[in-house]
Each structure stands twice: as structure tokens, then as C-alpha cells.
Amino acid sequence: MTVFEQDVSGITTVQPGTYLSQQAYIDKHLRLIDVSKVDRKKMSKPGSIVLGSAIYNMFRKKLGQLIWLEKTRVEFSFDVSMLASLLKFLSINEIFYINDVIQSIIDSKDQCMFLPILPEGTLGVQGVVDASLAGRIDESSQGARALGLTTLGTDLFSPVDVVSRKVRRKGSSS
């Protein structure tokens, strides 16, 4: 049985280990972008939400919040990368997309944990690498890696470095 205790500061105690949670940050800052008063038809074409507009600025603010939250929710890295790459082509569809990601994080905010204090035992380093070739909207590739610590014999994984980004090809092949 897993035991959870949380105080106001966001410290959560779980057996085994102690975690720093982002629940308080999510409760205070993370909100959906309100689209109830916007003309959805005018904003339906790619690029129709222009730099400097109120909704563009709100999108950028929410994207920044998601980049911060991505530190504890690695599974949203691909979505955050995709949203960041669509700034030039912003439309109501991307607003709906970012709202879906935000809602998913709000619904599962209890999973937003920073690096845990690992239980006693032999420490090990574990790496995970993945790639999606030509899987992005612009047919480019997405790559990701996570490097972390684990206590051997447990299923705890403590990410130390996580990267998910568009893969840029260098050089040429012969």
C-alpha cells in the first residue's frame, strides 16, 4: 500500500521516498485559455492569431508554464515541443490543443513530482532514448532522452536530465 501525505508547501511523502510536488504551482497558476468570447471562425486559419494580440500573449504565457511543468511530466514533452513549433501558424486549433494539454495536467496534478529522495540501496544510472522519425506535422523528426538515477531492485526512476526536441539533420550522407 502506498501512503501519501501532502502539506501546503507541496512536499509529498510517499513510501518509499519523499517528493517535491508542483500541485501548489498548478493550483495557483495553471488555467485554460478562455475562448468563449473569441471569434473562432476568424481564428480558424493557420497564422490568424498574430504576434502581440492578447490571445497570442496568453498562449506564450501558458507555453512557458508548460515548459516549467514539463520538468516533472516528461510525457508531455512532445506536445510542448509541437506547440512551441507552431507559434508562426497559431490558430484556434492550437489554442484547443494547449487547453487539452493543460486540462490533462490539471486532472493528474498529483503526478507532478520532482526528483525523489531514493531509498537506501545501491544507486544506478539509467537512460531512456526514443525517436519519432518524420512524425511531426512538418514531417521532421522528434527525439527524446531521459537520464536518471535509480535504486537497484526498485522501480523508482529519478530523472536528472530530460530533453525532447526537433531533430536537426547535420551533414550529408554519401
Averaged pLDDT for residues 90-116: 89
Q: Look at the chain and report how many structural domains it folds into.
A: 2
Secondary structure of 102-151 in HEC code, one letter for each residue: HHHHHHCHHHCECCCCCCCCCEEEEEEEEEECCCCCCCCEEEEEEEEEEE
117 within domain boundaries: no
Q: Give the up-direction half-sphere exposure of residue 38: CA atoms within 13 A in the CB hemisphere.
A: 19
Residues 78 and 157 in one domain: no
Residues 15 and 90 in one domain: yes
The pLDDT assigned to 38 comes to 86
pLDDT higher than threshold 80 for residue 63: yes
140 within domain boundaries: yes
141 within domain boundaries: yes
The model scores a pTM over 0.75:
no
Residues 134 and 107 in one domain: no
Range of the domain at 77: 4-111
pLDDT higher than threshold 90 for residue 145: no
Averaged pLDDT for residues 35-50: 90
Averaged pLDDT for residues 147-171: 74
Residues 88 and 132 in one domain: no
How large a percentage of the chain has pLDDT more than 90? 29
pLDDT higher than threshold 60 for residue 45: yes
Averaged pLDDT for residues 121-136: 75
Residues 106 and 129 in one domain: no
The pLDDT assigned to 1 comes to 34
18 within domain boundaries: yes
Residues 95 and 137 in one domain: no
Residues 104 and 131 in one domain: no
Residues 89 and 143 in one domain: no
What is the CB neighbour count within 10 angstroms for residue 114?
Answer: 14
Residues 102 and 129 in one domain: no
Q: Which residues share a beta bridge with 19?
A: 12
98 within domain boundaries: yes
174 within domain boundaries: no
173 within domain boundaries: no
Structure confidence at residue 144 as a pLDDT band (50, 70, 90): confident
Residues 84 and 17 in one domain: yes
Residues 9 and 57 in one domain: yes
116 within domain boundaries: no
